[in-house]
Structures are given as C-alpha cells and as structure tokens.
Amino acid sequence: MAPRPQLSLLLVLLSFFVLLSSATAHNITRLLSQFPDFSNFNSLLSQADIAAEINRRQTITVLAVDNSAASSLSSLDADTLKQVLSIHVVLDYYDQEKIHNLRRRSTLLTTLFQTTGVAANRMGFLNATKMSDGRFAFGSGVPGSPLVATLVKPVAAKPYNLSVLQISAAIVPQGINGTPLAPFGAPITAPPEVPVPAPAPVDDSTADGPAEAPEASAPEPAADAPEADAPDADSPAAGPAADGDAPSPSEEEDKISAATPAVGGISVGLAVAGALFLAV
Ligand SMILES: *[C@@H]1O[C@H](CO)[C@@H](O)[C@H](O)[C@H]1NC(C)=O
Ligand SMILES: *[C@@H]1O[C@H](CO)[C@@H](O)[C@H](O)[C@H]1NC(C)=O
Ligand SMILES: *[C@@H]1O[C@H](CO)[C@@H](O)[C@H](O)[C@H]1NC(C)=O
C-alpha cells in the first residue's frame, strides 16, 4: 500500500524540522563531555542549571577551568556557585583570535550574571586585560579587583556561536552574594602593557550586552532586562535567578525558541499538513 501523499509531506516536514533543530542548537554538556579535564566544571554547569542557559543562547563564550581549578568551587553554596558560574559565561563569541585582537588593552566583557539583575558594582562584568608578557588575564569587573586567571588555551569552538576557552583559575568577585570572599588564585603580577585610561568604556564589540557604560557610579542593574526588579518574574529570560519555582521548558521548547524565525513557518506548514492528513 503506497503511503498517502499527505503523510509523506508530513514526514518530510517533520524530518526537516528535526534537522533544523539539531542544526541550531548546541549542547555544552555534550561538547564538554569530550574533554575529561573539564568533567568537574561540566557537572557544576549542569548542577547549577547554567548549562541550559548556555544552550539557550546563540552567541556565547564559556571560560572553563580544569578539574583541579574547579575543585576550589566545591566549597561554594548553591546560590553563590550559580552566580560564580554565570560570571564565566560571556555574552559574546570570543575565540582565541578574537580575544587577542581586542583593540583595547583592557576590556570589560558582559557576562550572564549581568542579565540576572542582581549584579552590582560591575560584578556582572569581567576584566580582560592584555599583559606586557603577552598573556591574557581575567579578573572580576568590580573596580580594584585583581586579575586572577590567565587564558590557557581554546578548548572547543562552534564558530560563531559557542566558544569554550580554558582559563587558569575560577574568578570569584569579592563580596559576591553578600559574602566577602578572597579571590581564588594568586593575582597575576605582570603589569598591563600600557596604563589603562581611567574611565575605560566597555568594548563596543560586545554588541549584545547592555550598552550602558558599566563604569557609571551605580549602574542600573541590567537596564535592558525588565525582570531586574523581580528576578522571579515569568519571563523566560529571567536567567539563573528564576530557578526552581517554574517548570523548566522542555528541550523541544528550547530548540523551537532557538529557531524562532524559521520555525513559525514550519509550524504553520505542519498544521496545514496535519489538517490535510486528518481531512483525508
Ligand atoms: C545534552 O547532552 C547531554 C549529554 O549527552 C544529554 O544528557 C542532554 O539531554 C542534552 N541536552 C539537550 C538539550 O539535548
Ligand atoms: C548561531 O548564530 C546565528 C546568528 O547569530 C543563529 O542564527 C544560529 O541559530 C546560531 N546557531 C546556534 C547553534 O545557536
Ligand atoms: C582591569 O584590571 C586592571 C588590573 O587590576 C586595571 O588596571 C584595569 O583598569 C582594569 N580594567 C578595567 C576596564 O576596569
């Protein structure tokens, strides 16, 4: 018995949809599972629900630490861990080349933590600074913070969506989550190549980050995030602060929202095909 043409059409549309979903979704958990050196960091990302947030974003850089450096994170309570990990997720794509080509000696990178609306005092930013010895160092964006980590190597990249760079130590801002913590790792000592101009504006290549200058004395936390005052609002973009109380969207929903422009048309196509199928 020959398959009905409507059914074939439906199957073609369905397989196209499946292809499209897999082409537009990345999975940080799967990607990092290929690198046993990062298994601790990888499980912390899942444990703190940051992995799902990474997968939901289209242009992102994860600053990962290897197993020995990740062990320093195990002493953090769940809340603080989540905040610290979200500081290791930069809201732009930086591979090794792009980071070395940054025009400024010192750049503030916007992180996922900035989107939660609870980051104060530039805590949602990372300071990325080129050192005189050619290394690239990172520290918290909180003014006066030491640079505590260096760029070690690129781990993986899916240009120009997802990049994973290894850094030498976890970056824990002083005073995160109300707890004054000593930064992990010894401060990186080599001075920046040239003195950094006092008010250093955020690099304008961080196009998707909040555009407001982070050096304003009291930055309005994530002015572009309407959920700033109520991180538990029902906005799906509410980020890590909105955990627990709302059922997290299924993986399929993730894929659909990741492919929004094309999927609208396909859903209509599927609905039409389904209607045809049912009408026969
Ligand atoms: C990502 O990969 C992990 C491990 O392979 C798997 O358990 C998880 O379900 C995947 N998530 C998505 C969104 O596909
Ligand atoms: C990669 O980024 C482009 C544009 O920024 C987007 O259209 C595409 O869906 C993204 N792919 C993934 C895997 O997120
Ligand atoms: C980054 O940190 C270095 C060293 O602490 C500091 O000199 C520089 O001003 C900081 N850059 C920004 C943009 O805050």
DSSP secondary structure, 162-185, as one string: EEEEEESS----TTGGG---PPSS
Residue 57 CA to ligand 2 centre (angstroms): 8
Instruction: Give the per-residue pLDDT at 12.
Output: 59
| Candidate of 138, 147, 196 to mutate for ligand 3, largest count of ligand atoms within 8 Å of Cβ | 196
User: Is 253 touching ligand 1 by the criterion CB < 6 Å?
Assistant: no
The pLDDT tens digits along the chain (280 residues) read 455 656 666 665 666 555 555 555 899 999 999 999 999 999 999 999 999 999 999 999 999 999 999 999 988 999 999 999 999 999 999 998 899 888 899 999 999 999 999 888 999 999 999 999 989 999 999 999 999 999 999 999 999 999 999 999 999 998 887 765 455 556 777 655 544 444 444 444 444 434 344 443 444 444 343 433 433 334 343 333 333 333 433 433 333 333 333 334 444 444 434 443 444 3
User: C-alpha 89: how far from its chain's center?
Assistant: 4
CA 10/CA 2 separation, integer angstroms: 15
Contact assessment for residue 207 and residue 196, using Cβ atoms and an 8 Å cutoff: no
Ligand 1, atom nearest to 55 Cα: 13
Contact assessment for residue 94 and residue 108, using Cβ atoms and an 8 Å cutoff: no
Instruction: Give the per-residue pLDDT at 125.
Output: 97
Long-range contacts of 99-103 (CB under 8 A, 24+ apart): 99/128, 99/136, 99/151, 99/165, 100/130, 100/136, 102/128, 102/130, 102/203, 102/205, 103/203
Contact assessment for residue 43 and residue 64, using Cβ atoms and an 8 Å cutoff: no
Please name every residue paired with 108 in a beta bridge, in sequence order, or none if there are none.
127
Tell me which residues have their CB closer than 6 angstroms to ligand 2: 24-26, 58-59, 161, 258
Mapped onto helix, strand or coil, the DSSP state of residue 159 is coil
Instruction: Give the per-residue pLDDT at 190.
Output: 67
CA 68/CA 64 separation, integer angstroms: 12
113 token code pair: 């933590």
Residue 86 CA to ligand 2 centre (angstroms): 20
Residue 232 CA to ligand 2 centre (angstroms): 27
User: C-alpha 189: how far from its chain's center?
Assistant: 28
The DSSP 8-state label assigned to residue 239 in this structure reads G
| Candidate of 127, 131, 189, 206 to mutate for ligand 3, largest count of ligand atoms within 8 Å of Cβ | 127
Which of the ligands is closest to the CA of residue 30? 1
174 token code pair: 């002083």
190 token code pair: 């080599």
Instruction: Give the per-residue pLDDT at 31.
Output: 97
Mapped onto helix, strand or coil, the DSSP state of residue 126 is strand
Instruction: Give the per-residue pLDDT at 54.
Output: 97
Instruction: Give the per-residue pLDDT at 11.
Output: 63
Cα R_g (the chain), whole angstroms: 21
Contact assessment for residue 25 and residue 260, using Cβ atoms and an 8 Å cutoff: no
